[in-house]
Chain A
Amino acid sequence: MADIGTGLMVEMVAADRTVWSGEASMIIARTVDGDLGVLRGHAPLLSLLTEAAVEISTPDGVVHAAVDGGFISVADDRVSILTQHALLAEEIHIDEAKAELESAEGMPTGNEREQRIRRASSRIRAAEAAG
């Protein structure tokens, strides 16, 4: 599958829609093991993502998005990012995310609190990185 193009074919798919798809030169995502950078020619990989911001460098600029966990699969310069919910930076309301973060911090400690904090802060990061 030698692509004639120079980049990666990226598809970011949420459960109910395709959030973003197109050509990119680099992707930075956060897996459960740490940050992962994908360039052209990356070895086939299937990895778990955490709630974090994803950065996609395209010829027209950088696309930022926040994902709620999910997976990244890389093969033959095709990258699919699968997640239940994904938001592009321009779709994120930063004030809402901040309010969400505050309300999550007020919750009793537990897994849900952690998850909501991570989710909200990943949204804030994605929005701020783009802004």
Chain B
Amino acid sequence: MAVSLREYRARIKSTESMKKITRAMELIAASRIIKAQQRAQAAAPYARELTRAVSAVATFSNVDHPLTSEVENPTRAAVLIVTSDRGLAGAYSSSVLKESERLAERLREEGKEVVPYICGRKGEAYYRFRDRAVQQSWTGFSDQPSYDVAAEIGQTLIDAFLDDEGVDEVHVVYTRFVSMLTQEPHATRLLPLEVVEGTEAPADGEVLPLYEFEPSPERVLDGLLPQYVQSRIFYCLLQAAASELAARQKAMKSATDNAEELIKKYTRIANQARQAGITQEISEIVGGVNALADANAGAE
């Protein structure tokens, strides 16, 4: 009886300290989300200007570039999967991985071999556990990606794509940040690039000016397109980072709520146990006194 009361108190204590941890993680995630969103906003002008420039070149010259040309019979497809480095983010990583499995299956049905590239320790662990080969992986930056990482990943994928022995397509699976409450896994094809042919580029009705390209449209495109790919990857990484933090905040919030619930439950049980103990003690004392009184009465 007294033992179980002590046990309950210990459980309450440990749940309380867990609650403190999850609460702290919730607050950290919440403050980092704001930073992640600011970073995404800060990166927006670059992406916007780059898209403008690419569509300008695409509109005024015949785009024929290795990065935009489709291979006739694609046989190998690279899939870049963006997961998190750490868990405790609810179903964040597993839903990205599930989406990537779906994509891989579709690609295999189309007769393409899937070559996985992975961002984040969780994805790496998933593949290692299943003993599957990974072409290359990058870890250690999932909640605050830098442009340099995106540039490195982009360059690796471009090299693989341009290599004859490499891949014929590049896909990305990442989590799109819709709102604080919804983040959805999303698969998209990165290479070969589909250049928006200036159809929607001048958003506010302005006509794209007649650019001169120096030294030549081809050279400009040569310089632009890799940057464009890298900036697209950077965008995916930033979205994934914001999503990861939002998912973590949500998961930690419900963990904190659950801990509170558990503490309440255990406190009730502990109180009950304590009360039961007191009642039993009283009845034992009363019983003992009665027995003594009876014995004394019998002796007299």
By a beta-carbon cutoff of 8 Å, the part of chain A in contact with chain B is 1, 11, 13-18, 31-33, 43-48, 69-71, 73, 75-76, 80, 82, 84
Bound-state Cα–Cα, A33 to B230, Å: 25
Give Cα A44 to B39, complex, Å: 31
Q: Contacting B56 at CB < 8 Å: which of A18, A31, A48, A73?
A: A73
With A45-B211, A47-B220 already in contact, 16 other A-B pairs whose C-beta atoms are closer than 8 Å: A11-B45, A13-B45, A14-B46, A15-B46, A32-B215, A32-B219, A44-B210, A44-B211, A45-B212, A45-B213, A48-B223, A70-B227, A71-B223, A73-B53, A76-B209, A82-B227
Name B218-271 residues within 8 Å CB distance of A.
219-220, 223-224, 227, 230-231, 234
The contact of A18 among B45, B57, B219, B230, by CB within 8 Å, is B45
Give the Cβ gap from B242 to chain A, nearest Cβ, in Å. 14
B224 to nearest A CB, angstroms?
A: 7
- B234 neighbours in A (Cβ, 8 Å): 15-16
- Give Cα A50–Cα B43 distance, bound, in whole angstroms: 22
Across the interface, which residues of A come within 8 angstroms of B49, CB to CB?
A: 11, 13, 73, 80, 82
Task: Tell whether B146 is near chain A: CB-to-CB under 8 Å.
Answer: yes
State the Cβ distance, A43 to closest chain B Cβ, in Å: 6
Our pick among B53, B146, B209, B215 for the contact of A71 (Cβ within 8 Å) is: B53
**A to B contact number (C-beta, < 8 Å):** 83
**Listed residue (B46, B53, B56, B227) with the most chain A CB atoms within 10 angstroms of its CB:** B46
Contact B206 A71 (CB under 8 A): no
Check: B109 CB closer than 8 A to any chain A CB. no
Contact A16 B215 (CB under 8 A): no
Main secondary structure of the interface of B (DSSP, over half): helix
Q: Pick the contact of B42 from A16, A32, A47 — CB < 8 Å?
A: A16
CB contacts (< 8 Å) of A44 on chain B: these are 209-212
Q: Which residues of B (177-236) have their CB < 8 Å from a CB of A?
A: 206, 208-215, 219-220, 223-224, 227, 230-231, 234
Contact call B214/A47, Cβ cutoff below 8 A: yes
Show the binding face of B for A, using Cβ within 8 Å: 39, 42-43, 45-46, 49-50, 52-53, 56-57, 146-147, 150-151, 206, 208-215, 219-220, 223-224, 227, 230-231, 234
List the B side residues contacting A82 at CB < 8 Å: 46, 49-50, 53, 227
Given A46-B53, A82-B53, A84-B147 in contact, is the A16-B213 Cβ separation under 8 Å? no
Question: Which 10 A-B pairs give the minimum distances between C-beta atoms?
Answer: A44-B209, A47-B214, A15-B147, A75-B209, A44-B211, A17-B42, A46-B211, A13-B45, A80-B49, A13-B46
A129 CA / B231 CA spacing, docked (Å): 31
Distance in angstroms from B145 CB to nearest chain A CB is 10
A43: which B residues are within 8 A, CB to CB?
Answer: 212
Residues of B near A31 (CB, < 8 A) are 214
The minimal Cβ–Cβ distance linking B228 to chain A, given in whole angstroms, is: 11
Assembly CA distance A54 to B97 (angstroms): 45
Residues in B whose Cβ lies below 8 Å from that of A33: 214-215
Task: Tell me the complex Cα distance, A103–B34, Å.
Answer: 38
